[in-house]
Structure 1
Amino acid sequence: MRFSIYLNAQSPGPAHDLDVIDAITAQAVLADRSGFAGVCLTEHHFTGYNTYGNPFTFGAYLAPQLQSAHVVLSVAVPALWNPMNFAEAVNTLDLLTRGRCVIGVGTGGSPQEYKGLGRDPVQRNALMEEVIDIALAAMAKEDDDPELPYSTSHSAGVLTRRIMPGSYTRPHPRFGRASLSDEGIVSTARRGWALMTAREAAQETARKLALYHATLDAAGHDGATLAFCREWSMVQKMIYVAESDEQAMADVDEPLNYLAAQSSKSFGGSAEGAGFKNSIVGVSAVDREGFLNKAMIVGGPETVAKSIAEYQAAGVDHLTLVFIYGQLNPALAAASLRRFIDSVMPRFSGPVAAARGVAASHAFSD
């Protein structure tokens, strides 16, 4: 079992933003030094759900502070980007990490995020594919190649020369995709991209992973692509490790209230008209029991280890874990991370070193 840490902390207000970013930076560095395979960053805007907003900027800030962990975008939202800006940001992060990154993408974002960036959320799937296709074409363009005209529902232009900088990983950085649907899972496997999924109980997670791996094996990818996909496909869980199950439930009560309120603000009312479900990533904290069962792992060290073992038995070999969320007190989050490192993680130690270096085999040598 491999573990990555997922950073998506909320802030009470502008006066606290730097403190929150400092807290998750400290978590990232501790996780890196403790053998976590990756540091996962996400993209959210305007909704109170993510303090740092832009994962490319934050990833570039974290990269020189990490000794071995990959920077993993889980996920960026191409639909909210101009395709040329997206291609530049992807290549820059890949170059600055010397290929030690994974670019996860998804439709992401609540209706307010699409509105704030002048996008139509109803078109989010089509727009994501448009931006990705154009960005990949732009990454492949050489300086002397013919001009590359492009057009999406929200932007148009002509790329006359090459994208700068070029990527470290060739022919382009490695990608993953967030998906909960069978259709999305099949598409991800056929592309040779890592699968990023979340918010399902162990049995349904097992079914989805089986579909992904069967499609992946039948797609005819080369060995390096298969190894990358198997090592960097991951399942996300919010986690809290306390001294006892009772204390854990008491400590996450207020964070769950906050997440439920934020979900209602972000998706309530406008969700149906925009084609969104209650939550774009599955079960919402509004359904507390469902959220605890599907999106979280909460308890004392024994209970947490038992839950992780259930997912491992279901075929999960890479978990990405969120330790600070819902305005959880940073000191409690730090204690939870430390308990996990000291009392849970050693039970699942595995070939972390193998997971750290896959991208290097596809990159230029120094």
Structure 2
Amino acid sequence: MRFSVYLNAQSPGPDHDLDVIDAVTAQAILADRSGFAGVCLTEHHFTGYNTYGNPFTFGAYLAPQLTNAHVVVSVAVPALWNPMNFAEACNTLDILTRGRCIIGVGTGGSPQEYKGLGRDPVQRGALMDEVIRIAEQARRKTLDDPDLEYATPHSQGVLTRRIMPASYTMPGPRFGRAALSDEGIAYTAERGWVLMTAREAVPETARKWRLYHDTLNASGHDEETLAFAREWSMVQKMVYVGETDESALADVAGPLDYLAEQSKKSFGGTSAAAGFKSSIVGVSAVDRDDFLKKAMIVGSPETVAREISEYEGIGVGHMTLVFLYGQMSPALGARSLRRFIDEVMPRFTDPVQTAEHVAYSATTS
């Protein structure tokens, strides 16, 4: 089993933004030195759901501080971008990480995010595909090619020369997609992309995992593409490792209350009421019992290890874990991450001895 850390921390207000960004930066460095495979960054705007907002900017900041881990955009929302800006951002992150990055995409974002950026959420799927298609054409354009004219419902222009910089990975950066629906999972596999999925219990995850891998194996991609997709496809969970099951549940009660309130404000409450967003986020924190069952792994080190083993048993080889969420205090999130590294992770991977001092210094500030 491989692990990545997922950074999507919420801030109580502008006076706390820097502290939150410092906390997730410390988590990224600690995870990198402790043997985590990737640092996953997401895109959210205006809603209070993500403090750093732009995953490409934050990924560029983290890139020189990471010695081993990939920067994984999980996910960007192409529908909110101009295609030329999106192409530049993908190439820039790829070259700054020397190819140690994956660009995940999705239709995500709440209606407020689409509204704030002047986009129509009803068009989200078609617009995502259109932006990606145009961005791919732009990335391939050379100085000798004819001008590239493009138009979407929200932007238009002409690319006369080329996208700069060129990507480090050839022919272009590796891509992935967030998907919960069968249609989205099949789309991801057919393109040879990494699957990023979440918020399902073990039996449904097992079915979707089989669908992805069966479709991927039948897709006709070369072995290198297949191997990368298998290695990096991941299941996301919010995790809290406490001393006991009871204390862990008590510690996450406040963060869960916050996430439920945010869901009501941003998406209309329950997952059914979330409308266009429900196919991506799945269960809502408003449905607390279901959320704990499907979106989270909470408990003592033994309980957390046992539940991860259940996913390992259905063939999941990579999990991306969120340790700071719901305005949880950075100190509480740090203790959970420390317990995971010390008491859970060694049951699945070899210990990383060089991380000991970094782990201490990064979680006690």
Note the residue ranges of structure 1 that are not aligned, 5 or more in a row.
353-366
Identical-residue share of aligned pairs (%)? 78
Q: Is the alpha carbon distance of 1:313 and 1:350 closer, same or farther for their aligned partners in structure 2, counting shifts above 3 Å?
A: farther
Note the residue ranges of structure 2 that are not aligned, 5 or more in a row.
353-365
Letter in 1 for 2:18: L
1:52-63 superposed matches below 5 A = 52-63=52-63
Q: Does 1:310 align with 2:310?
A: yes
SS at 1:52 equivalent: coil
Which stretches of structure 1, 4 residues or more, deviate above 3 A after TM superposition?
Answer: 269-275, 277-280
1:227 aligns to what? 227
2:201 aligns to what? 201
1:337-352 superposed matches below 5 A = 337-349=337-349
Q: Does 1:103 align with 2:103?
A: yes
1:362 aligns to what? none
1:188 aligns to what? 188
2:162 aligns to what? 162
2:47 aligns to what? 47
Task: Give the whole-Å Cα distance in 1 for the aligned partners of 2:216 and 2:67.
Answer: 31
Q: Is the alpha carbon distance of 1:243 and 1:351 closer, same or farther for their aligned partners in structure 2, counting shifts above 3 Å?
A: closer
Report the alpha carbon displacement of residue 263 of structure 1 after superposing the two structures with TM: 0.4
Report the alpha carbon displacement of residue 280 of structure 1 after superposing the two structures with TM: 3.6
SS at 2:304 equivalent: helix
1:81 aligns to what? 81
- Does structure 1 conserve the Cα–Cα contact (< 8 Å) formed by 2:270 and 2:283? no
SS at 2:276 equivalent: coil
Task: Give the whole-Å Cα distance in 1 for the aligned partners of 2:289 and 2:270.
Answer: 24
Q: Is the alpha carbon distance of 1:289 and 1:272 closer, same or farther for their aligned partners in structure 2, counting shifts above 3 Å?
A: closer
Task: Give the whole-Å Cα distance in 2 for the aligned partners of 1:330 and 1:269.
Answer: 26
Report the alpha carbon displacement of residue 350 of structure 1 after superposing the two structures with TM: 6.4
SS at 1:126 equivalent: helix
- Does structure 2 conserve the Cα–Cα contact (< 8 Å) formed by 1:45 and 1:113? yes
Q: Is the alpha carbon distance of 1:273 and 1:311 closer, same or farther for their aligned partners in structure 2, counting shifts above 3 Å?
A: closer
SS at 2:237 equivalent: strand
Q: Is the alpha carbon distance of 1:118 and 1:270 closer, same or farther for their aligned partners in structure 2, counting shifts above 3 Å?
A: farther
Q: Is the alpha carbon distance of 1:325 and 1:52 closer, same or farther for their aligned partners in structure 2, counting shifts above 3 Å?
A: same
- Does structure 1 conserve the Cα–Cα contact (< 8 Å) formed by 2:177 and 2:193? yes
2:34 aligns to what? 34
Task: Give the whole-Å Cα distance in 1 for the aligned partners of 2:144 and 2:102.
Answer: 29
Task: Give the whole-Å Cα distance in 1 for the aligned partners of 2:351 and 2:300.
Answer: 26
1:263 aligns to what? 263
Task: Give the whole-Å Cα distance in 1 for the aligned partners of 2:294 and 2:153.
Answer: 35
Letter in 1 for 2:223: G
SS at 1:94 equivalent: helix
- Does structure 2 conserve the Cα–Cα contact (< 8 Å) formed by 1:111 and 1:271? no
Letter in 2 for 1:282: G
Task: Give the whole-Å Cα distance in 1 for the aligned partners of 2:253 and 2:269.
Answer: 25
2:357 aligns to what? none
Letter in 2 for 1:13: G
Task: Give the whole-Å Cα distance in 2 for the aligned partners of 1:12 and 1:345.
Answer: 30
1:113-262 superposed matches below 5 A = 113-262=113-262
SS at 1:74 equivalent: strand
SS at 2:236 equivalent: strand
Letter in 1 for 2:289: E
Report the alpha carbon displacement of residue 269 of structure 1 after superposing the two structures with TM: 7.9
Report the alpha carbon displacement of residue 314 of structure 1 after superposing the two structures with TM: 1.4
| Deviation sequence 1:166-186 (CA, Å, 0-9, x none) | 000001100000000000101
**TM value normalised by structure 2:** 0.94
